Amino acid sequence: MIMSLKEMLSDDFSEEFLLCGNSACSGCASELALRWALKALGSKTVVVAPASCTNVYIGLWPGAAPTVPFINMAFAAGASAASGIVAGYEALGKTDINVMTWAGDGGTVDIGIQALSGAIERGTNFIYACYDNEIYANTGTQRSGSTPFGAITTTTPYGKPIHKKNISQIIAAHDIPYVGTVNGADPRDVFAIFKKIKDITGPRFVHLLSPCPPGWRFDSSLIAEIGRLAVDCGIWILWEQENGEFHLRGKSRRLLDKSNRKPVDEYIKKQGRFRKMTQEGINKIQQWVDGNWLAIEKTVKGQC
Amino acid sequence: MTDEKQETLIITGNEASAWGARRSKAHVVTAFPITPQTTVMETISEFVDSGKMQCNFVKVESEHSVMAGMVGASMTGARCFTATSGQGLLYMAEMVHWVSGSRLPVVTTIASRGIAPPWNIWVDYSDILSMRDSGWIIQFASTHQEIFDSILMSYKLAEDPRVMLPVFIAYGGFSQSHTSKPVVIPSQKAVDDYLPPVPDDGWPHLVLNPEKPIVHGNLLMPQQEYMEFRYKMHETIHGAKPIIKEVIADFHEKFGRNYHGLIESYRCDDAKYILVTVGALGEQVKDAVDTLRSEGKKVGSIKIRYFRPFPKEDLVEILGSKNLEGIVVVDRSIAYGSPTGGHISSEFSNILSELPSSLTYLPAVWGLGGRDVTVGDQESVFNDLINLHEENEIKETSNSYINGTLWVNLKVR
């Protein structure tokens, strides 16, 4: 599944659709993931970006990093504006253009969920990518429905008291051709999944973990390691559901066996956002993770 | 009914709206049910699902998504149509601005209704007039035929490269949306000859085309052109006045129906007293004018057809007549805390400054939430105006004159 670096770095994929010199923070996983998602999708792609960091890191007008058509959109309207674009192209007979919404977690799990659910229910032929940095990062790190338990944000100064929403499972409960989770800090994973889903017809939902150095309080040099630890600890589970068929993916395939999972504190202790977390809190996250895996186990065994 | 020949159908105002979308060959319609608009989308559904209208009709899950869908679809260069009412218009308000700010030629009909709470589904223009400053051209259609015809004219106007702004066409919920009248539906060919197809390569300023990529809507710092973009929209709406007149004249020539201009006046030439209003009551008031004329009272009426751009020059031209002694401006909407209580009567201050100070000016509000306004009520408003002008007070009236505004049939004193 993971592409070889040789292929990714070959001339076939040398064209950049998100130029360097943009305004993203150092170590931004969203910007890295968008760059590789666009390489996988190619030039015939239109991007809708509802309110999020992406609106800012593409650059101030009149400068702009994207070299594909790209529209900034209202916060709640990521999926609905994309629905309109798809409808317009269909009506005008233009059927060879990928339409992708590129939204943050706030724009997806909170304010954008109604439009997203509606667009999927209608079978809209588009890709919806949620880069999940687990906060309202663009407005300065407020808690979202996707912020994990214990994380400090400007609106949870002592840590969030409840767990995050499981948006991918909410989406999987729709009749949708493809749902998948991705480690957004791993360009190979991003590239492979977007290349795979490019030619699927109908709604496709990709949920990318998007480690955020300033929001999560870790050094930007650690972005790949934080993403890897999220997977290794079983906090971020790599799975996909294609036409109703669920399966684990990549390193997560080995993690059904709890002994293969690293303890969550390896992930938690590397991030300043969890600095106020007690051992009791860490235990609570470990229980939450183990519970998630039990649910995965039931799903996998139920299908066997 | 076929597409090949012109026919006169007895249809509701909402069906006239749906026919407007069909004859305009809208590529994309998005809609969400709301009373009293719903039968517009039901009629379009029937047209599309029976194969009579080639259109991508997206039945979205909210009005916010309705107008977001219009933004996306119009950006591909498609001709886009929707319709809504009251709460729905308020729910889509953010995206209403997104359409105009992107300069997209979307046409939307509004079956106007009162705003909740308490629930109210009957005619009241407070919904559309809450979009006063949204950058859309705002028109009122006072007859069923005018609803249909206005959609054709509005695409012509909105898609004009000199304009590139969206258009609202408002009419009364139930009073027009659900009553039936004869409407002439021209053949498809006649409409095609009038309304050209959309440009092959998209709108002149904006199209989502991977061959010609653009980035739209990114952040502007205060010293950059944000203010200039806003100014240009304002300038364009004002500059649309002669273009609206061109479109109306062209329509008159092609179809034989004359919509006069941004306003329509009735028996104003020698009038001493003029009533100004909007919508279907602007038609009905002609009966009140005729009755009072037969009693020897020199009265006339003006129906405002376009509220944005505001037809100041046209109004001043008629109201500047030296015969005139009094004006009453009547709103079927409420603008809380405004100088007069009504949207249009409050706008009149900048017109009054250009008129003789001897004129009596009476702002009035009637018919909120669909309350009946009879021809008798309209005569009473004229009589109250005459009374106020001659006696400097209003005597023996069924209306309430409170803090300078006349509230027609208000039940509190």
Q: A58: which chain B residues are within 8 Å (Cβ-Cβ)?
A: 215, 218
Q: Which residues, 6 or more positions from B78, have their beta carbon under 8 angstroms from its beta carbon?
A: A87, A88, A91, A92, B27, B28, B198
Gap between the Cα atoms of A141 and B180, Å rounded: 56
For residue A39, pLDDT over 50 is answered with yes
B24, B60, B209, B220: best to mutate for the A interface, most A CBs within 10 A? B60
- The pLDDT of residue A5 is 86
Burial B103-133 (b: 16+ CB within 10 A, else e): bbbbbbbbbbbbbeeeebbbbbbbbbbbbbe
Gap between the Cα atoms of A47 and A72, Å rounded: 9
What is the architecture of the domain spanning A5-303?
A: 3-Layer(aba) Sandwich (3.40)
Record: contact A59-B218, CB cut-off 8 A: yes
- Average pLDDT in the B196-203 region? 96
Question: How close does chain A come to B223, measured CA to CA in Å?
Answer: 12
Q: Which of B279, B243, B284, B257 is nearest to B379 (CA)?
A: B284
Residue A69, chain B, CB below 8 Å: the answer is yes
For residue A304, pLDDT over 50 is answered with no
Domains and CATH numbers, chain B: 7-255 (3.40.50.970), 263-407 (3.40.50.920)
- Average pLDDT in the B379-389 region? 98
DSSP A140-164: TSB--TTPPTT--BTTBTT--SSPP
ipTM attached to this prediction: 0.97
Gap between the Cα atoms of B304 and B274, Å rounded: 13
- Report whether the peptide linkage leading into residue A62 is cis, meaning its omega lies within 30 degrees of zero: yes
For residue A3, pLDDT over 80 is answered with no
CA–CA distance from A190 to each of A41, A171, A203, B335 (Å)? 11, 19, 18, 53
Question: How close does chain A come to B81, measured CA to CA in Å?
Answer: 12
Record: contact B58-A97, CB cut-off 8 A: no
Q: Of all residues in chain A, what percent carry a pLDDT higher than 90? A: 95
Q: Of all residues in chain B, what percent carry a pLDDT higher than 70? A: 100
CA angle B244, B245, B248 (to 5 degrees): 85
Q: B217: which chain A residues are within 8 Å (Cβ-Cβ)?
A: 71-73
Question: How close does chain A come to B210, measured CA to CA in Å?
Answer: 5
Summarised one tens digit per residue, pLDDT across range A138-182 is 999 999 999 999 999 999 999 999 999 999 999 999 999 999 999
The alpha carbons of chain B give a radius of gyration, in whole angstroms, of: 21
Q: A72: which chain B residues are within 8 Å (Cβ-Cβ)?
A: 215-218
Q: B77: which chain A residues are within 8 Å (Cβ-Cβ)?
A: 88, 92
Question: How close does chain B come to A147, measured CA to CA in Å?
Answer: 26
Q: B206: which chain A residues are within 8 Å (Cβ-Cβ)?
A: none
A170 CB-contact burial (10 Å; exposed 0-12 / middle 13-18 / buried 19+): middle
- Average pLDDT in the B80-90 region? 98
For residue A19, pLDDT over 70 is answered with yes
Domain residue ranges of chain A, discontinuous segments joined by +? 5-303
Gap between the Cα atoms of B307 and A160, Å rounded: 50
Question: How close does chain B come to A91, measured CA to CA in Å?
Answer: 6
Unique residue bearing structure tokens 């979202």: A144
Q: B69: which chain A residues are within 8 Å (Cβ-Cβ)?
A: 80-81, 83-84, 87
Gap between the Cα atoms of A265 and A271, Å rounded: 10
Q: Which of B91, B28, B90 is nearest to B59 (CA)?
A: B28
| Residue B201 or residue A5, greater confidence | B201
Res. B412 pLDDT band, cuts 50 70 90:
confident
